[in-house]
Each structure stands twice: as C-alpha cells, then as structure tokens.
Structure 1
Amino acid sequence: MGEVERLFIAAGCNRIVNNVSWGASNLVSFGAHNAVAIFCPLKAQILTTLPGHKAAVNSTYWLPNSKFAFRAQQLQLHYLLSGDADGVIMLWEYSLGEKKWRHVLTVPEKHKKGVTCISGIMLSTNEALFASTSSDGTVNIWEIILPLAAGGNCKLSHLEALSIGSKTMVALALAELPGTAGNLVLAMGGLDNKVHLYCGERTGKFLRACELKGHSDWIRNLDFSLPVEMDGKRNTLLLVSSSQDKTIRIWKLVPCEIVDSSKRKGVIGLASYIEGPVLIAGSSSYQISLESLLIGHEDWVYSVQWQPPSAMSEERTGYIQPQSILSASMDKTMMIWQPERTSGIWMNVVTVGELSHCALGFYGGHWSPNGDAILAHGYGGSFHLWKDVGVDAANWQPQKVPSGHYAAVSDISWARSGKFLLSVSHDQTTRVFAPWLNHTADENSWHEIARPQVHGHDMNCVTLIQGKGNYRFVSGADEKVARVFEAPLSFLKTLSCAVSAESDVQEDIQQDVQILGANMSALGLSQRPIYVHAAQETPERSGSEVVDTLETVPEAIPVTFTEPPIEDQLAWHTLWPESHKLYGHGNELFSLCCDHEGKLVASSCKAQTLSVAEIWLWQVGSWKAVGRLQSHNLTVTHMEFSHDDNLLLSVSRDRQFSVFSIKRKGTEEISYELVARQEAHKRIIWACSWNPFGHEFATGSRDKMVKIWGVENESSVKLLLTLPTFSSSVTALSWLGVDRQSKHGLLAVGMENGLIELWHLSAIYKDGCETVPEFTAKLASRLDSFMCHASTVQRLAWRNSEKVEDCRNVQLASCGADNCVRVFEVNVS
C-alpha cells in the first residue's frame, strides 16, 4: 500500500532567453523555477522535473541537440546541461531504453553570477565540448568525455576561461572549422553589438581571431550551420546572428584560396559579397563576408536557428544541411527564411504566430530534430508548437503543448465531482486542469482546459463551491476583495466533451445558463459576461475606427472545445464572468475555504492585529457576510470545515489553532462560537486538515512537527499523537479517509524542501471509549525527489475524498512555489 505514480505535471517556462533546448532524443528541456522540466512534444505532456538547482534555471542545452540528431540514431544515452542564476552548471544523463534520469555531476568551477547561455558541440559519440557565459564577464570552455554505458563516470576538463570585460556576452555558438583537423571556432555576441570569433584546438587555447561589425544593438543569438557543400567540397561555414536591431545577418566563412580563384575568373554577380576580416586558424585562413541581411521582424529578434541536417540516403554517407533558418521575435511571430532558387536572395517563406499588442512575444524558437515542427516559448511562460502537416505543400498547423503557471502556485481546489482541478498563482491567473479522454487510445491525458480568471494582482487563494448547482469559485488576491466567478455555458459544454460522460456533468448542473463566456476589462481587474443571445450579434466596426491601440482589448469568442485548447484560445476565449465582489477585509486576502454542502465560505486576510485577523463567513448565493469570527492575533494561514460542517478549524501565524462551532438556524441565519483555542506549535502553523471520518485533525508547522488532535464533545481539544520530526518545515497537509469503520486514513505531508510523504493513521479505541480514540502513525511512502516539487509545497488536496472506500487508486494533487501543479495516483488497497 502507498505505491505512488506520477500522473500529471503542469509548469510554465521561465521567462528568459536560451532557456529551452530540443534534443536529438526528441525531448524538450526547459527551466521551470529552480527545476529542469522535460516534456515530450508527441504526447504534449511534461514527463518529469529534475531537482537539484538552488536558483532559477536560466539555460538548458542537450548533448546531442537536434542539430546532431542525424548522427545520434543509435545513441542510448543522451546528456543535458543546465545552468542557473547562481552560476551553477549541472550535467544529467538520460537513458533512452530505461527512460531513467541521473544527475552525473556539477561543474566544479561555477560562474560568479547567473549563467546566461550554454552552447556545445558533439565531436564524436562520446566526446563533447561546451562553452558557458555569464554576467560575470567570463566564458568558460570545457571538454567532456561521456561514459559509454549508463551510470559510468564522466571526465570533465577545463580548457579555457576567457575574460570578456564589462560588455557581457549573452550568445554563444561552437563549430568545427571545415577542412582542418581539430580546429574549432567559437562565436560570441552581446552588449557591444559585435560578433567576436575565437579560434582554438580541441585541447588548446582559444585565441581571439576577429570581430564582425554590422548590428546596431545587442546581439541575442548565434548559430553555426554544419559545413555546406560548395563546388563539390564541404568547406563553407555559415553563421547566423540575430539582434535587438530587428535584423538577422548571415555570415559566410570560406577558405581563402577559394575566394582568390573566383576573383581570378572575374566572376561578379549577385552572389558577390562585401569582404570582411580574415580568420586565421592554425595553418588555414578563412575569408568572412556578409552573405545576407534579413529584415522582416518588427521587434527584437531573440533567436535564430539553422534547420537540423538530415542524413543522406543509404548509398551516400553524410548529411544534407538545409538552407533554412528559423527566427523568433518579440513581435510574437516566428519566421522561416530560405534563399530563392533562382536569385539566391533570402526570403521569408513561412510566418506563424500573430503580430499582436496584447502580449509580449517569443523568447526563443526551436526546430524539431527532423525539421517538421517548430516550437516557441513566450512571455507568459507558454509554449507554442506548429507542425508541417502538408502533403504536397507546406501547411503549418498549431499543435497541443503542455502549459502551466510561470510563477509560484499558491492554492488548488478540486471540483466537487473531482472532474477538474483549479489552481491560482502569483502569475495572476486561475487555471483549470482536467483529464481529457482520448477516444482513439481510450486513455486519459491531462490538459489545461480553461483559464477562468486573468487578473491584475497576484492570486493567493481559491475555493470551489461544493454542493449542487453550477460550478462556482471564490478567489482571493493581493487586494482586499474576494471575487466570485460562475462557469459559463461554453465551459460546461467543453467539460462534457473532456470527460465524455455528459450525464455525469448534467446531473450537477442547472441547464438554464444564459452566459456563454466573458470579456476582459482593459485593466484586467474584472470580467464582463457575454450573454448567449448577444453572442449572435457581431459588432460592426467602421473602416476608420482604430482597433489596434493599447486601450482596446480583443473581444473574446467563447466556444465549446472538442479537443484540448491551445495557448491563444485559453488566454482569451475561456474566461468566466465575475458575478460578485465580497468587500470587508482590511488587507490582502490570504486564505479561503468552503463547507461541504456549498452553503458557507470562510475568508481571511494578512493581519497583525486581532480585529484584522478575523475570519469572515459568507452565505453562498446571497453573498451576505453572516459572521465575523475573532480569535487570532496574526494572519490566519489555513482554514477547513469538518466533514459534517459543524466545526471550522483555523490555524495562524500566532502559532495557535482555533476550533469554532457553526450552527445553522433556518435558511440564512447561523450562530457560531469559539470551542477551543490553543498554542499548538513553537513556530508558525502553516496547514491543517480534518479526518474525514471524525472530529480529529492534523496541524503542521514551521517547527517541522505534525500533531494529531481530537475534539471531545465539541467542547475541548486533546493532543492524540505527535509524528516524528520531519526533515523540513511542514507547509501542507491533507487527510484522506480510507476505511470508515477503523477510521483508517492516509495523511499527505508536504514540506518546504518540496518533498511529500504519506503516513498511515489508524485509530485505536480503548476501554469501550467511543469518543476520542488514540492514533498510531506509520510511514507509508516517501515520494522520490524526482517526483516531488523543487521548492515549497503550498497545498495538498485529495480528489473525491468522500468516495475513496470504493476504489483502489486515489489521486492526490499538489502545488508548489516551483510553479508546478502535480497530480499523483496512490494505491490504497
């Protein structure tokens, strides 16, 4: 019992350039807070996260990456480099056969400041070189001898430390020079608007060779092609650079003697070029020239990448380097550039994305290993994937990708039916995740299916209203107002498509919903309803009307989705209308909870005095304030109603818990009184949870303790059990009832270090005493660190905790400060 499987991970990408890498393994890596996340583009699912970094992950790089995929067909081991904001670089090993990850080593000499870029090159199947740059003004070059078998040792040698000075370099590219044995070229670009080229040997020093001028703003990205065939020889190297001056430049490196021979023939045509500096590498020299200047983007061009080479046919060995470049820009477009067949002039042949004022654009663009898909990551931590599905002509269509929050996730709440999970985050969004039934494979895969609230403040807490009726939730943010949202018709229909059992959804829902969706207000603080009858009328705009200004917000078009929506649809067309605002608190909201009947909501805010720390009770439906409970002196950090709704438990920064008795008198009146208040821990109490089968509850604190308490006759509280001290502060608790007769349950414990443990709790009744039993606790499962969060666990929640006695497997959701929402499947049989 207690076996745990990972079902789902949602996480957004850190909003930084050079953060994403697409490997020859056909997996994509990216930094999600201080973990490295790995996602599979074919499944549109995040497979795992790699914990270990103590700061935000800035840069990831696969060895081999998609450029060398044609050589990596037989490789069973793939390697990944990751660098963070503290200057630490780690190396990870992935076994393709076993699908297992291993932390191989941490690079011994770290940068003094954050890593901004890592670039590498595979010299053979087990030999690689990589360079890293940082805002500390240095570029380090390392050689790695990779193990031939899984679990082997890596040999790492430091070749060179180049001091750049105050003009930081933010882009690197490495290549082998064609026609020479073992000579390498390193290109770097950054704040001084120049491309600097260094030459070196595999084992020796890297010497400054020359610099290329032309860009008029920071250089953001560089990429070398593999040697291109010209005149029957692979001796030409192409370098592409992109800049904040909105342009892309292609530079050509050709051995000098070839330039001289063409001059002697007097060939002057469109292909002739402006001669640049000469690069000398050992006994060889190369003429560098500007091959082309590409203008088309309307904003900073953050990334450029050559299309990965493809292997030649079986008769001919080698590869074909396509003349094709992918660029990604802050104008929210990606473009593919290719030379025209007749004139050789580089043209933009494909544009995807949208020129849009509504969101900042793309931080990077990447080719798939076989060149049939392109991936961008954007300002909102989101991914955007297009695939060429055309048969005769190119036809780039958007595809499903994983999504998630790009800032700390502060709270989660299950729908009463367990059909979906709601999360709120400091990225100012509320998101709905649900298992979507795939009819062809007859299996569920989890996806984000709606983004009900996009707000102007960081979100701190949320609760879904339990009980019958339409789905509603209350959210609290860094403002003094709680807001109530109601599911529109478009969401209810989408949900019935997702779960593929319409009768289930319709049991819960009153079908007289007149609101189809919602529109965002200009400041992003409230959401206006779109009514069903109004949706038929499309507003007419006169030709002279200027639509594209910062004040106008695009009209939402709520629709029913028959497959999981993509990022652009989520951001605009899945909003829920706001139905009420709850005024009363004096400070930013901190905690919310709802009773199990769906009749009362309790709320608390940040507080330093008794009067501000009071808990407000709100009547669901009329949304009147029906109670103000005073007990604590500081912020109430967590609250929960007992499963019979007779008691409300609250815990606080003042190290005390309070238990209130709640009595309902008639329809709208309630009475409440403080049953017990007790100082329970030596430090802040972060979490509490009731036993579903009784009036026992657990509290968890910064003092690394979890204590089990029992309420006697709704009048006093007794300490029943103290669990062994945990390895870190306890920040989240959730109690699952497994067997009602024996009061047997599972307590999920989340900690500040990101780890999660499951504990068996069993009740023992002595001497015929039926009131408060004694409890025993035993560790059921300590989740593997690769499955857990890389930072503080903020909340834990069991799915369908009422109906668990009928099933073997139950699901546990968790959210954390590492930007992740996770769902686990736990075997309780």
Structure 2
Amino acid sequence: MGSKSDGMQQVKVERVFIGAGCNRIVNNVSWGACDLVAFGSQNAVAILCPKIAQILTTLPGHKASVNCTYWLPNAKFAYKAVEMERHYLLSGDADGVIILWEYTILDKKWRHVLQVPQPHIKGVTCISGIMMSQKDAVFASTSSDGTVNVWELVFPCTSEGDCKLSCVETLSIGSKSMVALSLAELPGNSGHLALAMGGLDNKIHLYCGQRTGKFVPACQLKGHTDWIRSLDFSLPILGIGETFILLVTSSQDKGIRIWKIAFRDSLDTKKEEISLASYIKGPMFVAGSSSYQVSMESLLIGHDDWVYSVEWQPPSIINGNECYQPQSLLSASMDKTMMIWKPEKTTGIWINVVTVGELSHCALGFYGGHWSPKADSILAHGYGGSFHLWKDVGVASDDWKPQKVPSGHFAAVSDIAWARQGEYILSGSHDQTSRIYAPWPKKSCLENEDNWHEIARPQVHGHDINCVTIIQGKGNHRFVSGAEEKVARVFEAPLSFLRTLSHATSGDSSLLDDLQAEVQILGANMSALGLSQKPIYSQVSPETTNRSNTDGLDTLETVPEAVPVEFTEPPIEEQLAWNTLWPESHKLYGHGNELYSLCCDHSGKLVASSCKAQSASVAEVWLCQVGSWKSVGRLHSHSLTVTQMEFSHDDKYLLVVSRDRHFSVFSIKDAGADEINHELMVRQEAHKRIIWACSWNPFGHEFATGSRDKTVKIWAVENASTIKQLMTLPSFKSSVTALSWVGLGRQSNHGFLAVGMESGLIELWSLSCERSDNGNLMVPNATCVVQFDPFLCHASPVSRLTWRPSEKIPDSKVIQLASCGADHCVRVFNIDFL
C-alpha cells in the first residue's frame, strides 16, 4: 500500500488482484508452514494463498528469472513452527543470486533481509534446508556451476534483530552438476547431517557432515538409469529394534526408489554369506562414532514419463508433542498425473492409492507436486505455467476433488484492455494465449470483497500475441488481437461466455439478456492443424456434430470436441483451457510484418493497426471499419515501428507514436457511405529516444507522450491545426514505457496520469490547469501524488496501463487501474482519493 499527501489531495493505493503464471522449471514452488505457497514468476517471487485462491503479493529484487524457492520452515517442518512469529523464504535465480525474505505472521508484512554472499557463478537449480530448531536452520544450494554450498542460518531473537548467515561448506561436484538436494539429521542422536544430491550422472551421492561443516563423501547409491530429478528425506522412523530414515528418489527413467538408512550401534564386520539379502543391502558408512547401513527398500513403477518430484507427507503431531512421520509420499510426473503411494498394511508393498490429473489433457505434464502442511491438499504446477490443486474432502475415505487456484500468463504480458463497461479485463501475452479476468461476487460474509479470477481463455494461438483491443460501442462483446503474424483476428463472445459473465456480474445482466437472445454460437473448437477457432452452434445437437466428425476418412482434424460450459463459479485450469474458447469471426489482412499495436475508437466504428517496421512503406497505420471489416484508410507518417496509438475521446484525432522518436496526430472524419476522411495534421520530433507510450486527456485535446529518454511531455492541440508543448515532467529514474490519463469529474482541468516504467515501478501524477479566455489550456501544474510501493509493482518493465471505465467516476472516490508487464503479471489497483 502506498499513500502520499499533496496539499488537499491524499491518495491510497491498494492491491486488488494479481494474475501470474509459474515459471516452467522444477523446484520453483514451495509450500510453507504458514500455509502460503511461493513460486517464481519471471524475476519476481509470487506469494499465493491457496485458501482464497489469490496471489497476495510479489517480491521484487531479482534481476534474472527465479528458478527455485524454499520456505524455512516449509510444510515438512510445520510441527516446529507452532510458535514462530516470523517465517523465512529463500529464492534463487538464473544469475546464481539467492535472496532471503522475512514474513511476519501477525501483520503479514514482507521484508528483504539479505542477499546471500558468494553467489553461484551460474543459475541456482535447487535449494533445500532443514530446521534444526525454531531459531536456526541449515540449507544447501546447488547450481549448474558444479558446486553445492551449505549455509547455517540463525534467526533473530527479536523483531529488530538481524539474521546471522555463515557458509559452512562449499563442495565441488565436477562437470556433471547436481539438480536435486535434500538434508536430514542422521538417526541415533549423532549430531551429524546427511546431504543427498542427485543429478546428471544418474547416481545419488550421500555426504555426511556436522552443522559446522566438514562434509565428506559417505557413499554412492546406484540404480537409476537416467538423471535424478528429485530427492527427499523422511524424518526418523522408529522401527522394530531400529531407528532409520527413508530417502525417496525419482528420475527421468520413470521410476521412484526408496532407500533405507538404518542406524547401527557398532560396525558389523562379519562377512555375510552371498545371498539375496546381501545384494539388496547397499553400502555402509560411518559418521562420527556411528555406522549406518543403506539398503534398497522399494522400487515404485507407475508413471509413464519423467518423474519430476517426490515428497514425503508432512509429519503430524500426536499426543500433544510427539511427532509422527506417515509412510506416504507424493510423486508428480510429466505424464500429467500426481500419485500418492503408501505401503500395504499386510505385505508392506508400496502401492499407488490415489491418482489425480490423468484426465487433464491440457496440462502438458507436471513439473512438481507438493503437500499442504496438514496433508489435506496437494498442489502441482504444470508445463503451461498453471497450478492444479486437489483437496481431500472425504470423511471416512480419500476423496480428492479439484479446487480453484490462481492462474495467469507464463510469459510477458504485452497488452491489456478493459471491457466497455469495465466488467472484465482482456490480456494478451507471449505465452500465445489471451485471457479474461473478472471480479466474482463473494459467496460468504467471511469474504470482505469480490475476488478476481480468470473466467475465460478466449484465444489459444500458435503465435506470441503482441496486442489486443476490445471493440467499443453497442452489440456483442468483441475483440481484435494481433500476433507475430501479419493478420489481425476478430473474436466474438459465444453464448456460454455471456451466461458465465451474467453470474460474474451478480445478475446485473440487462444488456446480456438482450444479447443472449441473438447469439447463436455456443462456443468454439480449436482445429488440430489450424490457428482458427471454429464456432460451435447452439442449435446443433451433439450427436450430429460427433457423427459428422467421424464420417469419411480419419484425419488429424478429429481432435476431442470442446464442450462450451456456462460456469456458475470460477472455472479451474482444465475447464479454462478447453471449454472457454471464443470463435474467430474475421481476419484482417494488409500488413507486411507481424502486428505490433492495435486500438479501437470510442464509438466502436474503427480499428487502427500497425506492424513492426524498418521502412516508411511498412510503418503505415491501417484503418479498418468495424462490421464490414473493410480497409478504409492507410496512414503514412513514420519510418519505424508505430509503438502505440490512441483515439481522442471525441474520436476526432488519432495520436500515433513511433520508434522514430516522432509523434503524429491525424484528423479523422466520417464521410458517410462507408468512407473515412483522414489527414495528417502534424508530425513532430518529440523525444531524444524511442517513444513507447501515449495517452489523451479524457476531456480535452491534450495528450502525454513517454519515452526511453526518461521523460514525459504534455502537449495540446491548438486551433485544430497546431501542436503546442505545455510542459515536461521532471525526469524519471527509468525509461517510461506506459501512460494512462484519467479525468476526475466532468472538468478537463484536473486529472491523473499514471506512469509505468522499465523498472516496473508506477507513479501517479496530478495534472491541474486553467484555461484562458479563448479556451486554450495554460501551462498545467503537475505533482507526483504517489509512488506505488515496490511490493505492489511489477518486477520488470510495465507494458501497459489502463484505467477502468466507469460511469461512476464523477461521484466515486475509488477508481481502478490495471497494468501488465514483462514479469508475466496482470495487476489491478484500487486508487482511493481520500
């Protein structure tokens, strides 16, 4: 939350919504004892709360993509965290940097504690730790630079204290780096730690050492025939006459192995007879005065693809303070399933007791699976940057049901647009999808406000999407998207979406009711080989569509039929990816290169489009008429890519800014008979570097331009023919990449300009000015009223800012601002003018 007073004006900024996908990499997700999940989203660390299915915040600080996160304590050590007031989070990135964060349970505040010294030379691939007590922990990190570092971390006793961090060991592994780690205390109260690591040489390496370091190789465990992907130690288990820990390992050989490490009082030097038992028994090793026997406990075969993660069920507390480690483990695989394994009570043979996810034909495999601290939920993250959560809702027996989780893009978000009435946000991304987010009405009195969710994924494309715009004016919901192809595509809302939207808007559906009587298309199908999404008509029965698909020769076109669904609650990932497509109604041709920017006028009659360009002939702006979709104009002015366009709010002018450092203003007039008169009014060099952004004053003919030269300039159209520069805002600390101007009240002499920067930060400027007697604007007064808290902002360049349209703005003190950025995030803020 950020706020600042400016004379009479005071502004408070609050997070409303964050939509973000998970980086597609193993070890990226960690479920903490505080019941929050941490994951990397590009170079930000995102924190989600599974209970409310919302991302709470993102932590800025990494300059490279976040590879792995690890909670101290995580779900495994939740039993040690009962009285901990502060929890800690480690995050490692592709540059080798590891950052430690502190989370205070009571006030829910985050703090950047420190950056771990001696960073890895290459990207961090895994972080794993062990809670020694509530006051200290030991953690290890590994990297593709071939080293494993072991650290001791002592937590502060008071809230003002500092964490004490010391490196106790650096192990050089060699050319075949390790990608998985796990730490455990060896049984028998020896005070020794075991460090298991696995990676590219197909072996599990066991090291023994103390908290002060001195880790030495103990033994190697062989058996897997491909890369080791995951390792996890159990807590000590009391067997009949022995104490032991179990190590579970998974590999790209599709197998899971369980190894038993049993404590022996003294080294048994007797020669054993050559028998089956002696083959099953593995090596022995000594740690201090104790010896340990390693044996192969079980081999679990069940997955059909690489097993990316295995994890023991978190221990539970019984009889007040006694800790019990259940013999139950969770595995996640690229075969799109997660499995829970347990030993049979009679035979002791490990069997698969629960399988989830096998029906999600869209999941494209899982990179990892995690238990909740209470072991009543399991979470997977998938190839599509998505989360998949199942909860055990059974009373007497297991009954795992899918749950709603946050979702979002897994690549840079290039553009966003509000619906005409502000009912939802549409976003387009380089992950080749467009998505729709909307506030969903609260269900219970426990929820203070509506929670935002992704309610549709209208376009799943074969190209990175660069720009989107929603068609304004009356009629059905439509949008145009432009991607890394030379064609713009028009999409129209199907009946299933309109019905879902009526549930999301709490019955405020008078307009929707009128539309639903006219719309005959229920949903859309994606063809297997094409990029077009084909309509599914509401009057066609399923029998006829299925029969027509199977008539004649078998072709690659016989993909599973999408089933459009009306949702009465927010859809989950499997439903979004398959049941919420919009049909494509038209293609707009003309450009010579891939599309770069789009905009629609406010009356919903014209769409302007531009493409990437290195010459004047390609850099032209095309005007297309909504409805007939005919080209009605080609505007020539620039010599390089047009980066953004915007119509003035009375649609008289089109403002165009370009990489060639110039802006242009075109006058646009409707000549009737499907003709548009357009004329270049002015072309002017405005900045010293690329102009990235522009925005009109909502109630006047003033506009702002923002550039890589770190400046924002305010201009005015005078006498309908000339452009006058009114002022230049004080220089910003970073390149300006996004602008959006909103007016308060019905007066054009007061408004707010939102400025987004390459650093990810956002500022809000108050622009107030007086008009002279002839109506011309005098030099405005500009004041920065608020700099958004970095914990609210993006961690990478801001791509677009846009204010929520609302008829209530003249009376309302709270308006909403949406933003998107290269950190894969879509964000919505409440701006409260106190």
TM above 0.5, one fold? yes
User: Hey, what does 2:811 align to over in structure 1?
Assistant: 806
Displacement of 1:509: 3.2
RMSD: 2.3
Partner of 1:127: 136
The answer as to whether partners of 1:259 and 1:287 remain within 8 angstroms in 2 is no
For residues 69-111 of structure 1, give each alpha carbon's deviation from its aligned partner in whole angstroms, at most 9, with x where no partner exists.
0121111100000000000000000000010000100011000
- State the one-letter code of the partner of 1:228: I
CA distance in 2, matches of 1:541, 1:372: 43
Pick from 686, 709, 721 the counterpart of residue 715 of structure 1. Answer: 721
Asked if the contact 1:113/1:135 (under 8 Å) is kept, the reply is: yes
1:428 aligns with 2:432: yes
Partners of 1:764 and 1:776 within 8 A in 2: no
Tell me whether 1:628 sits opposite 2:628 in the alignment. no
**1:717/1:807 Cα in 2 relative to 1: closer, same or farther (>3 Å)?**
same
Q: 1:409 and 2:422 equivalent?
A: no
Deviation per CA, 1:799-819: give whole Å up to 9, x if none.
015641121100000000010
SS at match of 1:572: helix
Superposed displacement of residue 550, structure 1: 7.6
CA distance in 2, matches of 1:18, 1:664: 57
Q: CA deviation at 1:668?
A: 1.6
Contact 1:736/1:801, CA 8 A, preserved across alignment: no
Matches of 2:481 and 2:546, distance apart in 1: 35
Number of the residue aligned with 1:35:
44
Residues 391 and 782 (structure 1 numbering): CA distance in 2 closer, same or farther, change over 3 Å?
same
Partners of 1:30 and 1:804 lie apart in 2 by: 36
* Bigger shift: residues 383-392 or 175-184: 175-184
1:177 to 144, 169, 186: 186
Partner residue of 2:172 out of 160, 163, 167 = 163
Residue 760 (str. 1) matches residue 766 (str. 2)? yes
Q: What corresponds to 1:243 in structure 2?
A: 251
User: Offset of 1:667 from its aligned partner?
Assistant: 4.7
How far is 1:360 from its partner? 2.3
Relative distance call for 1:639 and 1:578 in structure 2 (3 A) is same
- Report the equivalent of 2:114: 105
Residue number in structure 2 paired with 1:373 = 377
Corresponding residue for residue 385 of structure 1: 389
Confirm or deny: 8 A CA contact 2:434 2:457 kept in the other structure: yes
Tell me how far apart the structure 2 counterparts of residues 823 and 385 of structure 1 sit (CA, whole Å).
24
Q: Does 1:531 align with 2:537?
A: yes
Please say if 1:815 is aligned against 2:820.
yes
Whether the 8 Å CA contact 1:38–1:48 is kept in 2: the answer is: yes
Distance across 2 between alignment mates of 1:509 and 1:270 = 74
Structure 2 match to 1:320: 324
The 5 A counterparts of 1:615-654 are 615-654=621-660
Deviation at residue 537 of structure 1 after TM alignment: 2.8
2:7 corresponds in structure 1 to none
Unaligned stretches of 5+ residues in structure 1: none
Looking at structure 1, the residues matched to 295 and 677 of structure 2 have their Cα atoms a distance apart, in angstroms, of: 83
1:339 aligned onto 2:321: no
Indicate the SS of the match to 1:748: strand
Of 5, 10, 18, the match for 2:19: 10
Task: Work out the CA distance in 1 between the residues paired with 2:548 and 2:619.
Answer: 53
Mapped contact 2:363–2:574 kept (Cα < 8 A): no
**Counterpart amino acid of residue 669 in structure 2:** K
The Cα shift of 1:472 comes to 0.1
| Alpha-carbon separation, structure 2, partners of 1:511 and 1:602 | 30
The equivalences for 1:639-788 within 5 A come to 639-741=645-747, 743-766=749-772, 768-788=773-793
Q: Equivalent residue for 1:446?
A: 452
Letter in structure 1 aligned against 2:722:
S
Show CA shifts across 1:26-50 (max 9, x none): 0000000001000000010000000
Deviations 1:712-764 (A, max 9, x none): 12111000111000010000000000132352000000000000000000022
Q: Deviation at 1:219?
A: 0.4
* 1:128-207 equivalences in 2 (<5 Å): 128-207=137-216
Letter of the structure 1 residue corresponding to residue 803 of structure 2: W
The separation in 2 between residues aligned to 1:571 and 1:124, in whole angstroms, is 44
Q: Deviations over 1:469-509 (max 9, x none)?
A: 00000000000000000000000000001111243442773
State how far apart, in whole Å, the 1-side matches of 2:205 and 2:478 are.
58
TM-aligned CA deviation for residue 20 of structure 1:
0.2
State whether residues 362 and 577 of structure 2, in contact with CA within 8 Å, keep that contact through their aligned partners in structure 1: no
The aligned counterpart of 1:68 is 77
Match of 2:264 in 1: 256
Change (3 A) 1:547 1:373: farther
Query: Structure 1 residues 553 and 773, CA, compared in 2 at 3 Å: closer, same or farther?
Result: farther
1:440-479 equivalence runs, <5 A: 440-441=444-445, 443-479=449-485
d(CA) in 2 for partners of 1:17, 1:649: 45
Query: 1:263 Cα deviation (Å)?
Result: 12
Shifted more, 471-480 versus 517-526: the winner is: 517-526
Amino acid at match of 2:12: E
Deviation at 1:521, TM superposition (A): 1.3
What is the distance in 1 between the residues matched to 2:196 and 2:118?
22
Deviations 1:187-207 (A, max 9, x none): 000001000000001113100
CA contact 1:467–1:598 (8 Å) conserved in 2: yes
SS state at 1:824 partner = strand
Structure 1 residues 512-562: Cα deviation after superposition (integer angstroms, max 9, x where no partner): 101000001113511000000125436557999999998753210001001
Measured in 1, the distance between the counterparts of 2:37 and 2:551 equals 43
For the pair 1:396 / 2:400, whether they are aligned, the reply is yes
Deviation at 1:769, TM superposition (A): 3.0
Q: 1:515 to 1:268 in 2, by over 3 A?
A: farther
* Aligned counterparts of 1:293 and 1:668: Cα–Cα separation in 2: 72
Residue correspondence of structure 1 range 497-512 to structure 2 within 5 A: 497-506=503-512, 509=515, 511-512=517-518
Cα distance in 2 for partners of 1:489, 1:592 equals 26
How many Å separate the matches in 2 of 1:500 and 1:272? 69
Contact 2:435-2:458 within 8 A present in 1 as well: yes
CA distance, structure 2, for counterparts of residue 231 and residue 64 of structure 1: 30
Structure 2 CA distance for aligned equivalents of residues 542 and 665 of structure 1: 47
Secondary structure of the residue aligned to 1:245 is coil
Q: For 1:376 and 1:592, locate their aligned partners in 2 and report how far apart those are by CA, in whole Å.
A: 36
AA at the equivalent of 1:575: L
Contact 2:770 2:777 in 1 (8 A): no
Relative to structure 1, the CA distance from residue 626 to residue 138 in structure 2 (aligned partners, 3 Å threshold; closer, same or farther) is: same
The percentage of aligned residue pairs carrying the same residue is: 71
Partner of 1:593: 599
Flag the 1:645–1:801 CA change in 2: closer, same or farther, 3 A. farther
Distance 1:103 1:583 in 2: 50
**Cα 1:313–1:543 shift into 2, 3 Å:** farther
Cα distance in 1 for partners of 2:549, 2:791 equals 56
